[in-house]
Structure 1
């Protein structure tokens, strides 16, 4: 048995709808899609056996693996895949964007799915195989029993673990799926062979970070997420514990509401952007420099698409310019309703540091602190908020990045920016894509679509006997085991 301490609970167990680190950490063990990402963030077959792409790159023919079974025992067929893809295209933020370009889906036989695109899309397979809110395959009957767009009521996938029980505010229990049909290839990131060595895995919400660390030390938990960086040296001195600093960064952001309220005024957004001293914020929120870095790039420095375009608008710390922009904006003291979360202390700490920076230049800030599930529930209603704090996970391509999506809460629909996103989707030449991406990132900064603070490297703590888990960019628990 494995027990994992989380900062909170996922808002839903419907992985097609919900995103973020907590649900991804749990649900990637439960659900699978046609493709998944390997350790180098390249898509590889998972429930698909093979894929043929037409010469015009508009027709994708997936041949399905035989023998893949759902947790309730039935073998997966093309009807399940079609229903799942179509639903993902209705309910998922990225899925809706992808399916604007889908002409149709055919199922000529139980093992074949044919997707026809209106225009070539270089990242179609990467989109459906993303780590975050992927196009997971559900049984068709689970989809059919709820209204279109509604969350599913039964949580049934094909993964190595199945959802056995959820007790709100206490735990989510996964059990080994004895009927799991693993791939034969070597494990690599989210792809290849998956071994379920644990009879059960418990995911337990523990909001207090000190309690999470103490629980791992007492062996009540074997792994705990989101540990404050100032605990690093103490944990390292404890023989049974290992502090784990992520190698793949998230980035800290404040998402602006571009659809309703005071932040629809571009000059107000630009004033917010100009007022912030990102270095002071990151130091206060994330501690010693080993856990964070300043960088203007929305893609990490380690990625070939990294660019510093727009860097003159990053980390400005320019109160004078912020005041001038506010004066030009016609701003009349309306409160900026800013949601942040107690479940992620660095986000709440960052907001507390930024608030006086904004007030110093004349912005009125209504800081609203709540748990993460409440924030996620409120952010889909644009009339309720003007900004919210968030940690953006790594995406293997900028097109997949949620803050750039016009239908992600924040609703960045800048015409020039969205046109460049469409260009990125169509082009496959790396040098052409890098040039487009540089222009797009610069435009995002110029429009102040949202605020980037910096990269951070999350810390976890685990028992030394826990082996085999993988950071991908969220931890996966197939192949993990306890060494006795």
Structure 2
């Protein structure tokens, strides 16, 4: 999953350690027009079908391409597709590829490649599995067109093919798409605006993406992941930094041009730094923090005990403790589907307000008898700070809390087991959480997914959401799902916020997005 666990000052990015000063020599040899960027971490997985890791998604949006793409309003637009049509009964969907699409090795993109790519990606994605279940046949008609023949209508066809959350439904050559989905591709050949230079890759130090000279952009203006993607630089250098403070200082010295995540405690200094701009957007471009609960292990196997937490998680206190400035946070947000987003709702949230005395009384009325709540925390991360705030409120209400600190890898290993943990704190991209079909803790209801939350009403409502014919119907069903979710309590939100990016003022036309995007940018 695309969980983020960034440290406030010490997020390690790969195994390399660089000197704290002079990380990049300003006068070192570089391409005629290149930019140096520091992303959230080093790219180590090149396969956008294989993982939900956000860093692989960023790599994927530059090297690969998708049939459809999401714009800044959350609408889905054609990307690799030139035209499409549906039958009156909504059971036949025909798609035609744009002319001039080529893989990075020069070969043309074909409908057969796309069919193979979709067949590889679909089993690894919740929406993809729903589409596959609705599909009777997926066939290539000729080199540039293919057809879905459905068993029943699937109104979310375009939303599925253009989804912005990982794993991305990127297209790849058929020979790569034949790689089993549980095995990673190691040679990233896409048709996107940039291509990977394997000969210049230095693990732990530098990855180079160069402009794809064969890429044919769409004619529309760029809009988030949709529209034209005209590359105006020759080379994109992805640098690895040992920690956030080193990266922030390199940005202020002009040694790098862009840094994806700035440390909150350095924002005042960065805001005053000459030649540095900050980028922080709202709505779907923000993050959603969650405490994920283990429904298979005491005490949270009791739904009444889980629901007490709604009176103990105060988003304002958490975000203040983390150090998120007011302009980079949303007010107390009750919506599982994010606030200032298409499906935002307050349904079922009446009890979600801080009230420690009421929580104490509720807890006494449950079956809770002092069982320790084992809270897994990622050392040095902002999610650990969020956990510390909740833990104190829980103790004040009568819970016994065992806070256990570890790295993110250990959390991943621990959470895979159904016992030995009660909850962990994490945050995720808003684009992952804006829909019941992509929200990690709702889409996985009654599935074999860490936390193992289950209410049989939810899968049926998810199916109704997928089959809804209109936005209004989807909003209505999303509100029903949230009402059940507040009763089930698969997770408890701890805040909606932005981690601002920083970039040098000599960069022009940088797309304003929480996703790093380096088409259109110039210097």
TM-score (normalised: structure 1): 0.90
Instruction: Determine the structure 2 residue equivalent to 1:67.
Output: 100
Pick one of 113, 122, 144 that aligns with 2:155.
Answer: 122
Pick one of 331, 348, 355 that aligns with 2:391.
Answer: 355
SS in 1 for 2:46: coil
Segment of structure 1 superposing worse, 403-412 or 112-121: 403-412
SS in 2 for 1:290: helix
Segment of structure 1 superposing worse, 459-468 or 162-171: 162-171
**Inter-partner Cα distance in structure 1 for 2:344 and 2:93:** 29
Structure 2 unaligned regions, length at least 5 = 1-33
Q: Would the alpha carbon gap of residues 351 and 67 (structure 1) be closer, same or farther in structure 2, given more than 3 Å must change?
A: same
**Inter-partner Cα distance in structure 2 for 1:168 and 1:398:** 37
Question: Is the 8 Å Cα contact of residues 49 and 65 (structure 1) preserved in structure 2?
Answer: yes
Please state if 1:5 is matched with 2:38.
Answer: yes
Deviations 1:150-184 (A, max 9, x none): 22222121101122244333233212222223223
Paired residues for 1:18-167 under 5 Å: 18-133=51-166, 134-144=168-178, 146-165=179-198, 166-167=201-202
RMSD of the alignment, in Å? 2.7
Instruction: Determine the structure 2 residue equivalent to 1:238.
Output: 273
How far has the Cα of 1:441 moved from its partner? 1.1
Deviations 1:190-239 (A, max 9, x none): 22221222222122343532212101011221111221334333222222
SS in 2 for 1:28: helix
Q: Would the alpha carbon gap of residues 388 and 170 (structure 1) be closer, same or farther in structure 2, given more than 3 Å must change?
A: farther
How far has the Cα of 1:260 moved from its partner? 6.3
SS in 1 for 2:288: strand
How far has the Cα of 1:393 moved from its partner? 1.9
Pick one of 216, 222, 231 that aligns with 2:251.
Answer: 216
SS in 1 for 2:188: coil
Deviations 1:404-441 (A, max 9, x none): 21256445442112221211111123333222221211
Segment of structure 1 superposing worse, 435-444 or 326-335: 326-335
Give the length in aligned residue pairs: 478
**Inter-partner Cα distance in structure 2 for 1:122 and 1:421:** 13
Q: Would the alpha carbon gap of residues 287 and 148 (structure 1) be closer, same or farther in structure 2, given more than 3 Å must change?
A: closer
Question: Is the 8 Å Cα contact of residues 32 and 47 (structure 1) preserved in structure 2?
Answer: yes
How far has the Cα of 1:375 moved from its partner? 4.9
Deviations 1:32-68 (A, max 9, x none): 1111112222111111111112222232211112321
Instruction: Determine the structure 1 residue equivalent to 2:316.
Output: 279
**Inter-partner Cα distance in structure 2 for 1:376 and 1:4:** 28
**Inter-partner Cα distance in structure 1 for 2:213 and 2:365:** 65
Segment of structure 1 superposing worse, 27-36 or 374-383: 374-383
Q: Would the alpha carbon gap of residues 326 and 481 (structure 1) be closer, same or farther in structure 2, given more than 3 Å must change?
A: farther
**Inter-partner Cα distance in structure 2 for 1:110 and 1:377:** 45
Please state if 1:426 is matched with 2:495.
Answer: no
Structure 1 unaligned regions, length at least 5 = none
**Inter-partner Cα distance in structure 2 for 1:103 and 1:384:** 43
How far has the Cα of 1:136 moved from its partner? 0.5
Q: Would the alpha carbon gap of residues 121 and 328 (structure 1) be closer, same or farther in structure 2, given more than 3 Å must change?
A: same
